[in-house]
Amino acid sequence: MTVPDTVPAASGSLDATQETQIRELLRSHLPLPSHLPSTLSSLADRLAQYDVEITSLQKKLDRLRSERAAFQKQYEDCNSLLAPIRRLPSEILVGIFGMCENPWRPIIDSEDLGSITLATAMSRLAHAPIMILSQVCVRWHSIALDTPALWSQIDLDGQLWIHPDRDSVMKLLRSALERSAHHPLTVTITNFNDESPFLPALQLLAQHSVRWKTATFLCPFSDLVNLSMLKGNLPNLEELEMHCWDDKTERMLELFQDVPRLKFVYFMGNDDGCTARFPLLPLKQLGDLWYIEAVKNEPPTIIAHLSRLSRATWLRLQLSLDAHDPERGFPPIGGIVSSGIRTIMIEIYNFRPIRAQQTLEFIFASITLPSLTQFAIRIAASSPQLHLPIPWPHVQFLSLSERSSFPTHLLELNLYHVVIPEAELLQVLAALTSLKRLSITDQVQLPINGSVEHALITDTLLTALTRTPDSPCLVPDLVRLHCKSLLRFDDDVFLEFILSRVRESPGSPPFECELWWLPGHGRQPDPLVAEQLRELQTSGKLAFSFVQAKW
């Protein structure tokens, strides 16, 4: 049987007569026609013809699909050439790469301590996110590996001390130091294990100390006592974070006595042995000092050394009072200490009210602040005593104010979580005639038998702060008021206060007011008052926010 190469042009339809005959034979038992064999042969030939044609067309279809896929790929590649990301300058890509790297930085808090795994420690040291980005394309590879800034954050975690392959640790550290070239380094050394430190890695890192710009030590200082090469070799160090909890503090702090560019220090001392060595640091040159101390039966170490801080120093003093015995009090520190600092924030946590009051009374009675412009007292955000406000040491504050001449230069007062009687608050504000910015909070105490509310933002206070042409008001130069409130005041009284403070002259800055309601104490303001506040905002005379406080 000969099969044609292609299906005949007119062969696309069946023979209708023949189809009818076959259907009738299938439904009956009539004798089969004599031409049936030739019909079968003809149909077989026709099927073969279709098979040949289908095979040929399938090959053509496969070829067309393959060619189309190639053209599609080429089209996509050409279209990619127009993608906006390809037009991004290298500097922007470096910034993006840096943000991809940052989540791997050790953000250490009380819940994270000691929780880092060996794999994570190795990934940080290897700069794993940067290595992943380097595999995208040739350009990204070049940017990732040839940009020193992307390799300038060096993390050595105590998990690496127990790595079975210390050669790999050293190889990764050398690689990061080489790729960071001459770029300033951000160094973090963390160890919450009992393992002895891996000295070769620490010593290799210390050899590059002239490039250290930021250094964080979350480890026993005994890990670092053999790094004497650091002393006098930190010419570019600007930020230092230290968590002290062992008896090697003095030898460690001696390494940082001569650091000419040091401007920021975060110092946490957990015992008297640590904090007693704190003055070894170059305090006079600091711009920011965050000092944390667990106060026991000695006064906070920093108080006796406030005079060494410069006028530019922003002091954040955080005190834990859980170990302080209020029955014993504090021994005197040898006279009143005068300091020229302009900003101080005192944060207290882990306390009972009597401890907090006694500590503040001692501090206020022991210092003079003749240049202070910003003063804040608050409970530390991490403290479990958020609903246990701090008693206000009124007599001692007024004495401090008079001794320091606060009425002439104190511009900002922030009293967060402070219990102060209304009359005493009015007396304080009456004395601070130069004040421009004020923050105060109502309180909800949670004793055992139910809550106790203490409202400071009242009609009395708002009326006293309202300017009138006939009588003087408190804080006449107030430009900003921040409140966390129980909303226990009359809305019309609040509006009168606001109207008295907005300025009508063109170009004057808006009066700023942040009114945050405490959780569970929100309410809708009077509609007419709310409408007038919106009009003042629209006109640019008032910057106002009315939201729920977090705590």
Q: Residues 439-468: pLDDT tens digits?
A: 999 987 655 455 578 899 999 999 999 999
How much is the pLDDT for 549?
A: 84
How much is the pLDDT for 108?
A: 44
> What are the phi and psi torsion angles at 529 (to 5°)?
-65, -45
**For tokens 């951000």, what's the residue?**
186
How much is the pLDDT for 427?
A: 97
CA geometry: angle 515, 517, 518, nearest 5 deg: 140
**Helix (H) / strand (E) containing 244:** strand 239-244
- What lies within 8 Å, CB to CB, of 380 at 6+ separation is 318, 347, 348, 349
**For tokens 């975690």, what's the residue?**
157
Encoded tokens for 273: 């042995």
How much is the pLDDT for 237?
A: 96
Distance CA 523, CA 521 (A): 7
Segments making up each domain of the chain, as ranges: 1-9+34-82, 87-106+113-172+189-202, 441-471+480-551
Looking at the DSSP assignment, which residues form a beta bridge with residue 512? 480, 543
Distance CA 254, CA 328 (A): 33
Q: What Å distances lie between residue 72 and 59, 67, 76, 249, CA to CA? A: 20, 9, 6, 67
From 260, 264, 270, 346, select the one nearest 303 (Cα to Cα): 346
Q: What is the dihedral of CA 241, 245, 251, 252, to 10 degrees?
A: -20
Q: Percent of the chain beyond pLDDT 90?
A: 51
Q: What Å distances lie between residue 228 and 200, 207, 213, 234, 248, CA to CA? A: 14, 11, 18, 12, 13
Residue 93 in this model has a pLDDT that exceeds 80: yes
Q: What is the pLDDT of residues 65-80, one digit of tens each?
A: 999 999 999 999 898 8
From 213, 184, 182, 190, select the one nearest 125 (Cα to Cα): 190
Q: 351 falls in which pLDDT band (50, 70, 90)?
A: confident
Q: Say whether 142 sits in a helix, a strand or coil.
A: helix
Q: What is the pLDDT of residues 16-47, one digit of tens each?
A: 788 888 888 888 877 888 888 888 888 898 89
From 241, 231, 234, select the one nearest 266 (Cα to Cα): 241
From 302, 255, 309, 249, select the one nearest 277 (Cα to Cα): 249
Q: What is the pLDDT of residues 257-273, one digit of tens each?
A: 899 999 999 988 766 55
Residue 106 in this model has a pLDDT that exceeds 90: no
Of 64-68, 96-100, 394-398, which range is least confident? 96-100
Encoded tokens for 550: 């977090």
Neighbours of 394 (CB within 10 A): 17
Looking at the DSSP assignment, which residues form a beta bridge with residue 484? 441, 516
Residue 109 in this model has a pLDDT that exceeds 50: no
Residue 537 in this model has a pLDDT that exceeds 90: yes
Render the burial of 55-94: b for 16+ CB within 10 Å, e for the rest.
eeeeeeeeeeeeeeeeeeeeeeeeeeeeeeeeeeeeeebe
Handedness of CA 464, 469, 470, 471 (dihedral sign): positive
Encoded tokens for 10: 């007119």
Q: Which residue type occupies 230?
A: L
Looking at the DSSP assignment, which residues form a beta bridge with residue 337? 367
Q: 250 falls in which pLDDT band (50, 70, 90)?
A: low
Distance CA 488, CA 460 (A): 11
Distance CA 469, CA 457 (A): 23
Give the pTM. 0.78
Supply the angle between the helices 166-179 and 118-126 in degrees, to the nearest 10. 30
From 278, 292, 236, 289, select the one nearest 261 (Cα to Cα): 236
Q: What is the pLDDT of residues 180-218, one digit of tens each?
A: 999 999 999 988 877 777 888 999 999 999 999 999 988
Q: Is 172 left (phi over 0), alpha (psi -120 to 50) or beta?
A: alpha
Q: What is the pLDDT of residues 294-313, one digit of tens each?
A: 887 777 888 888 999 999 99
From 402, 482, 503, select the one nearest 437 (Cα to Cα): 482
